[in-house]
Chain A
């Protein structure tokens, strides 16, 4: 009898978790939230090797400003305990101090940032507070068009390209009052899972991951409070996991791609990166919007993501990868993942292994064909006139361009071959929809291995989520022990447009652990 009651209670709790954003999405005012997720240090403790809190940044009234989360800085700005000018100057000082070692930025626009900070300060003083991004220093990947500011995509092909307008997401950040600090580093045209020239703040001899590696490294090093990245094969989640920060690849179509130098029009996702899940939710609320300029933008109501974060997870059903697949990941990654699942089970969720549909094994192949064909169509304009200019726009790096080879070969593929991959894609999406009907969320490691370590699982759970477009977040879930002190990420994914729920579960996990509070000792 008691067991039946408990099951009923769990099911009621689960329904509450999954329903509350539907209420908001339907246009009704937010229903009362469930009680906050369990807080406190219930999760595994950090290894002694991991770095302590940052302590080298500029201080204001006892505060180490660059170490603030976006949410905590926003509250101080709103209540005028903190000046946007002081915060922006502290961030610029931090960049000056650390960027030579980390290499997170291609361009820093200090004068423009300070002018924007002064304007924000004046507005806030006059009572014209715009919201939680007002006065917050942010960076965007250097694929995002910025009016009057060079946008290189880290390629010599675009070395002199100065857009005449802002990408939609840049405009939305500015309209929300954010202070654009600069453009973050990436591999040439976002091709690749490493970011040449950007060192991992947790171990400067290792790479930050990629392709949004500049954003990930800048956040981890306290050089930004919020950032954006682009994800075509995992390029938000990879550096987020590798650098120990949070990165969300939203549902395809939720955030505009207009004004972004593309890899693939049908695979590219733009999304938030930040130090915490709450910060990502704040950013997503601003970034998500229908955009008529983006032919794949979808018109859906945008919920109040930050307000939907606090929910109980009791009764939620979690799917996990088959043990045979998981065993192909790095040993420390496996251990951290299993412990993360236990944490969520400890909060009242139930987890079980699921059988992946047959198409999962070939999704990476189909994603490659789609990606390369789309990219080749875009790059044809440059191959015809500027082929010799391909190569990184950084004289410290070897002038070799894998991008040129990739897109030259891609141009040789036929339309029928491209459409074969797109046929497969539709079947894959359908099979994923059926698979996800068995549970509420699917969990996996965000990366096969920590930074610079090797593991080659058959399925990585990265590009698959660009092919199906489902929302997926990476949240810190531990540190490696061998070698010690490298961040590991937990990926949480769900059905399309369940971004609010993905954020809420990630927030519940984050609230029960303290991995996100660790900062590298730089």
Chain B
């Protein structure tokens, strides 16, 4: 209702003071949400007859307690950074990309199929395969963009529908033409020389895909706030009328934002295959794309926030295993925690009620306006 008092959101400013203030403001809400989620989680743990301190203790130990634990956290976070970015870029153009799940499958099948064929090239093959993932994801993501820009088909519907197409298409390819014929259903295994190597340092299976994800976050930041294209995407997302007035092409930017999102999610799928599994097994890792939506929401559609959000998701997933191992708390508790965090992040009114308007003013959240 009130349009006057608006604090800055997100980033885009380079003066240090502004950046710190923006970052602090952007973090307030997610942090409050996490604290409340932990409180609610504690109640649930108590209700199941366990000790919250012990449960959360093992959760933390499992997430960051050792180099192996940290490695696991990074490993789980990696694909979520990609899929979170995929949502964030589209969101900046005013679009909801719900198609991350399918885009991950497109990237994964591209990587598995091409990786087997080009395995003899070694590291060069890795590079070619990753570029191919970007390309197929880009083209796949462009489809809903094109349908939106030229036929007015709502991207939420088309991206959801295309998930089914992508998942079934990739599953068919992995089980039929590209099947490895082994005991585990899925494609053949890629030559280890053409996979993404482990980082080492005692981080377990964490591979250079994590660094690639960080690089992708930097690239998205530069794209959005340092390039002409990003300027247009943000202008189109915030005010189509003003973007049109300034002579920007709405259709082109709609297509590109969704296509870039598709490329990012597909790259995430490719990195999963090349870095973790070495092949595309069926069923493939589920919910990477959907969890990316939560990561982007938590990270307020800012690349830095997306990385932090993915690390939190990864840490909770990793910690949950330890918690289940050393206490009687069910694995599902982490799902509950994540759900509560996301609910609180999106339900700004509720948090406002709990902690008052000041925090909201500081966070300057515009979520409710854009959802």
Are A and B physically bound partners? Answer: no
